[in-house]
Amino acid sequence: MKVISYGGGVQSTALLVLAAHREIDYPTFLFANVGDDSEHPATLAYIRDVAVPYAVRAGIDLQRLKRVRRDGTSETLMQRLNRQDTRSIPIPVRMANGAPGRRSCTADFKIRVVGRWLREHGAPAAEPATVGIGISLDEIHRANRRRCEPHERIEYPLLDLRLRRTDCERIIEEAGLPVPPKSSCFFCPFRTVGAWRQQRRDEPELFIKSVQLEETINARRSALGRDPVYLTRYGRPLAEAITDSGTERRPYDIGDGSCDSGWCMT
């Protein structure tokens, strides 16, 4: 069994085009949707309106997956974050000094969701599935950073083909497709300052939801006697940290929160 972990961004969409042209042998693409209330709406729209129809025309099986609990009910990342009984925070919120906290969102809502599908479709540890991840040559430092589950073997087709992100954009455009936006949860603490500023300016409804989420997390932490955490590196609330003027200092602004590869910055 060979599948691509599809993130809906540039690199993994380039893999979709390469698979459609039979330049790589991956007949199945798996998009682990962390939630329609959590994924950026632009990514969901791209997958629905562009990627899925293209995959159908090309004979590629593009599956949209979601996290399902043992009792059969589904759960989104936003629902997890808003649960009153949740004491841990699954996203990498920032401490007062700007350092990210530990996270479980990728493991719980991406890796395990894909892993469950693989097991249910006949990928035991004795004969693991091959899972392709869209890390490009300019991001080679991100390869081999996560554990490999017993039922899977990780490959990096873009590295094998020595393709960079710019190559991926060209491949998508030559296929007649629009280049997708960077994929991520709209409230991801790995977003750059520029991305946060763009959200406040152009997507105010998402910015308000991000502010409300940060407030909800900190209200729960305050009740537990814990220090506040933040969605940016500035050590203060999002609404104060990201201004309309765009005059913020930008300390070590290196992350972009993108899930383009399919494994969400891992």
Distance CA 246, CA 186 (A): 19
pLDDT digits (tens, 9 = 90+) for 105-156: 999 999 999 999 999 999 888 889 999 999 999 988 888 755 667 889 999 9
Q: What is the pTM of this model?
A: 0.90
Give the per-residue pLDDT at 246.
55
Which of 81-90, 194-203, 248-257 reaches the highest mean pLDDT? Answer: 194-203
In a domain, 261, yes or no: no
Residue with tokens 């590869």: 261
pLDDT digits (tens, 9 = 90+) for 38-86: 999 999 999 999 999 999 999 999 999 999 998 989 999 999 999 988 8
Distance CA 62, CA 145 (A): 25
Distance CA 189, CA 91 (A): 7
In a domain, 101, yes or no: yes
In a domain, 196, yes or no: yes
Confidence at 265, pLDDT banded by 50, 70, 90 = very low
**What residues pair up with 62 in beta bridges, in sequence order?**
29
In a domain, 256, yes or no: no
Domain boundaries, position 108? 2-241
In a domain, 262, yes or no: no
Distance CA 133, CA 20 (A): 16
In a domain, 246, yes or no: no
| pLDDT exceeds cutoff 60 at 12 | yes
Task: Show Cβ contacts of residue 207 under 8 Å, excluding neighbours closer than 6 positions.
Answer: 196, 199, 200, 238, 242
Rounded (10°) CA dihedral 227, 231, 232, 235: -20
Task: Show Cβ contacts of residue 114 under 8 Å, excluding neighbours closer than 6 positions.
Answer: 3, 5, 30, 32, 65, 131
In a domain, 249, yes or no: no
- What is the total count of domains within the chain? 1
Q: What is the CATH number of the domain that holds 34?
A: 3.40.50
Distance CA 254, CA 114 (A): 28
37 — phi, psi (to 5°)? Answer: -95, 5
In a domain, 250, yes or no: no
